[in-house]
Amino acid sequence: MDKFRMIFQFFQSNQESFMNGICGIMALASTQMYSAFDFNCPCLPRYNLAYGLGILLVPPFILFLLGFVLNNNISMLAEEWRRPQGRRGKDSSVLRYMFCSMAQRAMIAPAVWVSVTLLDGKCITCAFCTLVPVETLGNASHPHLSHRELQRVLARIPCKEIYNGQELIANEVAVRYLRCISQALGWSFVLLITTLAFLVRSLRPCFSQAAFLKSRYWSHYIDIERKLFDETCAEHARSFAKACIQQFFEGMSTDLVAARCHLPRKAPVDVGEAAEKLLGITDQGTMNMALKSWHRCKPPLHLHPPVLPTGNGWAGEGQPPTHTSVPRRETAAYYSWV
């Protein structure tokens, strides 16, 4: 249990670890889904190709979209992309970094599905069974069949129980031939994905490390800023609701006092703390205006810039300013023991 607790805490440590854990779970789920899937080839000339390629390509597309849906940053990316310019500019490199990081994680489960499917070989056997070279692998002395009849016989290769072309080509030979091709494609796909991942991980810092660090920093900043804004709004909403409820009950108590009802004296309420949490926003219209202002015109990323001296100052010389010492005012206090 301690190991599972440590793994769970690692996944919850930051956003990237959490999304990596989600992608790993989706990859394991894709393998379990394929192992539990009941593959039934239609064994018809016009449907084998559609069924085989559909099983090979449609689930990875669904898993890819599901990877975007489960990623919490997709809404943040859309919001940052569609927001007005305002007083804060939009950096396209940061948006590209966010999209590429989400796409890379979303592609893990589809890549696992395609790899497992190709290595198993059922989809390729079903899709391309009509393309088996009968002249090379089959019986060349078999009586000539029309193209339609030949396609009908070869389409039944995946269905061993109804295959009736043993005189033309053995079922085991055709299946082994197609499965070998499928496994070769599967291992080639795994090698390609692994090589691309290695090149991206190893060569990216060699060319654009400064740009990568900048994009990564500001993408993390956008994520943290959104979380803090949501927490601040939730705290303000809690304080606002508490103040509204308290105001309601105070009004009720005033009405009861006016009706000559004796009520117990209530303890004083810290009004200053409640007003500080409300941040000066005490009505619905002002709050709606603040939310619209946050969306339309976010504050610039410039926190109280120091005023640089002009003329013969230090600006542009790379030297820090020297602060003149201001004499402090000291006060002496004398106490009498009398």
Q: What was the pLDDT predicted at 31?
A: 85
Q: What was the pLDDT predicted at 62?
A: 93
Burial 42-65 (b: 16+ CB within 10 A, else e): ebebeebbebbeebbeebbeebbe
101 pLDDT exceeds 60? Answer: yes
8 pLDDT exceeds 80? Answer: no
Q: State mean pLDDT over 89-114.
A: 88
Count other Cβ atoms within 10 Å, centred on residue 134.
18
Q: What was the pLDDT predicted at 23?
A: 77
Angstrom distance (rounded) from CA 130 to CA 153: 8
Q: State mean pLDDT over 291-300.
A: 84
For 294, what's the count of Cα atoms within 13 Å in the CB-facing half-sphere?
13
142 pLDDT exceeds 80? Answer: no
- Joined together, the tokens standing for residue 101 give 């990081």
Three state DSSP letters for 177-193: HHHHHHHHHHHHHHHHH
68 pLDDT exceeds 60? Answer: yes
Three state DSSP letters for 60-108: HHHHHHHHHHHCCHHHHHHHHHHCCCCCCCCCHHHHHHHHHHHHHHHCH
Q: How confident is the model at residue 323 (pLDDT cuts 50, 70, 90)?
A: very low
Q: Which amino acid is at 228?
A: L
- Predicted TM-score (pTM) above 0.75: no
Q: What was the pLDDT predicted at 275?
A: 64
Q: How confident is the model at residue 3 (pLDDT cuts 50, 70, 90)?
A: low
- Joined together, the tokens standing for residue 164 give 């009736």
The 3-state DSSP class for residue 327 equals coil
Count other Cβ atoms within 10 Å, centred on residue 130.
17
- Joined together, the tokens standing for residue 295 give 């969306």
Q: Are 121 and 155 in contact (CB under 8 A)?
A: no
Angstrom distance (rounded) from CA 177 to CA 173: 6
251 pLDDT exceeds 80? Answer: no
Q: Are 124 and 52 in contact (CB under 8 A)?
A: yes
